[in-house]
């Protein structure tokens, strides 16, 4: 999380391509109903010979990588550990929330530090839920579904307790300034761990809406496993969405201290994202209306650059904002592909616009497409900014494999990009190129996934991993391990580090958090991507 300090990254011209995406989407938004419906018919008139069975043959390298990546969530757990898989981890944060008479002991530390940040933690839960909903059978085929569900529930248990009443949500445990003055194992924390909340007087629409999305998506995951728990999650999701929408205001303004870590440029995308998930969870068309008719002009960003104002924005929040915006386009395009009962003309037109915007994004990702983004390294890795560069490549690859599977399942054979045609297999090949780079097919010939292969980072920027279990260190003297030239004594297995420079070099140095720090939300994107690639598959047409 040190990688997210304010002012450590200025505007990036690489995002001009994404601005082009939205401008082009704005052109689409001005098209007539007839053009949109004609386009839809054109896109669906050709059918491939069939849809593969679920799941297909397992790809061994991706199965192994998924098994490893999943373990990082265990590395990051707070609370009283159950069935602990990480030998060097123990109970921690057991008194979290005690200042508010709450049990906030669970949840996960977001990165290499020991703070629980609600915004990225909720995003982690939403992505994990989405991965399970789309690719749970493939996770099951390689014996990872149970671990994914357990990790998700560890987060949602925390989020439930962090929402003690309809209009109150605790969004942080721990003081980042105090935390950064210490370097110690979570089991040996000594500093105070205060809590922060949003409420009607100090609203935080984006974090409340993202938490609503996490609860709604998780309610679908647990619907058949634990119906009462699923119903409780859905209740929290609906309350949080109402709170977020009724008391609109950015948490970055309500609680200025968050600006240095997980700042936010706005909350419109999270509201639409949450509404989309609530529609999937409930089937209530009022949520679909919210995203496609009532608020689309204000929040949908068609033809607007409002979501790409990066003043005072740092890498972590940039990634969250842009990923949520684009993930929302893909999530809503799912309804366009597979349909839903009772969709009005207005909703259908809006869904086609979301779908077209998602297609423009896909065309930009395909390396030989006419509108292909130039935001890549020489060897083809999607690369946008220095801080945690792999977040963008993993998010892009996950979207590509998922969108390709939407095409495959709906028997939509062709994606047109400025007159050239592409197939779901082309999107899958792009996704594979990104994860293969991470797993070792890169100029450094190293894996950026800790524990995968024979050559991976040894000095991960991570407190618990860097300090020996039997070390008797306090707050200050633990810094000797931050600056030590030795490899980490404890393996942070499954950690996806920040990634290489634009010139594709990597410096394995613990104090360089820009390159060497992992995070739960980036790992969630990697897990989602690997789950989609572990075998060839169609996707379910409905989450219910």
Q: Which residues are catalytic?
A: 461
Task: Round to whole Å and give the CA distance between 495 and 415.
Answer: 34
Cis, bond preceding 195 (omega within 30 deg of 0): no
Instruction: Find residue 382's DSSP bridge partners.
Output: 376
Beta carbons within 10 angstroms of residue 89's beta carbon: 21
Beta bridge partner(s), residue 234? none
Locate 299 and state its tokens: 């929040």
Q: Is residue 272 within 8 Å of 299, Cβ to Cβ?
A: yes
Q: Calculate the alpha carbon distances from 162 to 46, 218, 351 in Å.
A: 49, 16, 34
Q: What is the Cα–Cα distance from 465 to 486, expressed in whole angstroms?
A: 12
Angstrom CA distances, 148 to 23, 111, 138, stand at: 37, 18, 12
> What one-character DSSP code corresponds to residue 488?
P
Q: Is the separation of the CB atoms in 291 and 276 below 8 Å?
A: yes
The encoded tokens of residue 459 equal: 């000095």
Cα distance between residue 255 and residue 207, in whole Å: 12
- Which of 341-345's residues contact partners 24+ apart within 8 Å by CB, and which partners? 342/285, 343/285, 343/288, 344/289, 344/293, 345/33
Annotate 476-487 with DSSP letters as a single string.
TTTHHHHS-SSP
117: part of which helix (H) or strand (E)? Answer: strand 116-117
Structural element, H or E, at residue 170: strand 169-173
CA distance 482 to 466: 7
Rounded Cα distance between 398 and 413, Å, is: 19
| 527, 62 contact by CB (below 8 A) | no
SS3 for 47? Answer: coil
With 0-12 CB in 10 A as exposed, 13-18 as middle and 19+ as buried, what is 193?
buried
Residue with tokens 């077209």: 356
DSSP string covering 394-435: HHHHHHHHHHHHHHHHTT---EEETTEEE-HHHHHHHHHHHH
Q: How far apart are CA 159 and CA 214, in angstroms?
A: 9
Find tokens 């979301």 and name the residue.
354
Rounded to the nearest 10 degrees, the angle between the axes of helix 118-141 and helix 315-338 is 50
Q: For residues 275 and 283, what is the distance between their CA atoms, to the nearest angstrom?
A: 11
Helix axes 145-161, 205-221, angle to 10 degrees: 140
């Amino acid at each position: 999380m040190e990688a997210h300090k304010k002012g450590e990254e200025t505007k990036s011209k690489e995002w001009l391509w994404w601005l082009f995406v939205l401008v082009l989407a704005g052109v689409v938004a001005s098209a007539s109903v007839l053009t949109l419906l004609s386009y839809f018919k054109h896109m669906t008139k050709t059918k491939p010979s069939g849809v593969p069975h679920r799941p297909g043959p397992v790809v061994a390298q991706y199965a192994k990588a998924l098994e490893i990546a999943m373990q990082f969530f265990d590395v990051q757990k707070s609370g009283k550990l159950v069935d602990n898989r990480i030998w060097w981890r123990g109970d921690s944060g057991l008194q979290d929330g005690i200042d508010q008479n709450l049990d906030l002991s669970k949840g996960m530390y977001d990165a290499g530090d020991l703070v629980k940040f609600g915004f990225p933690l909720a995003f982690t839960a939403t992505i994990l839920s989405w991965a399970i909903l789309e690719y749970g059978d493939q996770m099951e085929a390689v014996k990872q579904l149970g671990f994914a569900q357990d990790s998700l529930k560890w987060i949602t248990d925390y989020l439930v307790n962090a929402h003690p009443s309809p209009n109150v949500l605790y969004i942080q445990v721990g003081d980042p300034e105090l935390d950064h003055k210490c370097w110690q194992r979570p089991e040996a924390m000594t500093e105070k761990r205060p809590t922060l909340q949003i409420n009607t007087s100090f609203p935080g629409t984006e974090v409340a809406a993202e938490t609503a999305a996490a609860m709604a998506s998780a309610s679908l995951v647990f619907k058949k496993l634990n119906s009462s728990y699923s119903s409780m999650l859905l209740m929290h999701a609906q309350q949080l969405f109402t709170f977020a929408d009724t008391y609109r205001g950015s948490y970055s303004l309500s609680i200025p201290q968050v600006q240095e870590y997980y700042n936010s440029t706005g909350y419109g995308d999270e509201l639409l994202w949450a509404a989309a998930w609530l529609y999937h969870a409930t089937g209530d068309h009022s949520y679909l209306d919210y995203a496609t008719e009532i608020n689309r002009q204000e929040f949908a960003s068609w033809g607007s650059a409002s979501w790409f104002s990066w003043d005072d924005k740092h890498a972590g929040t940039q990634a969250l904002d842009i990923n949520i915006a684009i993930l929302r386009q893909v999530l809503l395009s799912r309804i366009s592909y597979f349909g839903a009962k009772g969709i009005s003309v207005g909703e259908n037109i809006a869904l086609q616009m979301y779908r077209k915007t998602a297609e423009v994004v896909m065309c930009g990702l395909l390396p030989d497409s006419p509108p292909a983004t130039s935001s890549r390294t020489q060897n083809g890795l999607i690369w946008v900014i220095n801080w945690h560069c792999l977040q963008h490549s993993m998010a892009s690859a996950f979207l590509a494999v998922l969108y390709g599977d939407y095409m495959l399942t709906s028997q939509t054979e062709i994606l047109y990009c400025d007159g050239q045609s592409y197939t779901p297999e082309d999107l899958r090949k792009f996704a594979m190129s990104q994860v293969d780079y991470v797993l070792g097919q890169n100029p450094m010939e190293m894996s950026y996934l800790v524990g995968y292969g024979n050559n991976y980072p040894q000095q991960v920027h991570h407190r618990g991993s860097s300090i020996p279990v039997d070390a008797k260190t306090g707050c200050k003297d633990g810094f000797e391990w931050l600056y030590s030239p030795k490899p980490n004594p404890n393996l942070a297995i499954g950690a996806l580090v920040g990634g290489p420079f634009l010139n594709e070099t990597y410096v394995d140095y613990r104090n360089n958090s820009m390159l060497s720090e992992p995070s739960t939300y980036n790992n969630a994107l990697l897990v989602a991507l690997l789950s989609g690639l572990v075998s060839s598959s169609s996707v379910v047409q409905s989450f219910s």
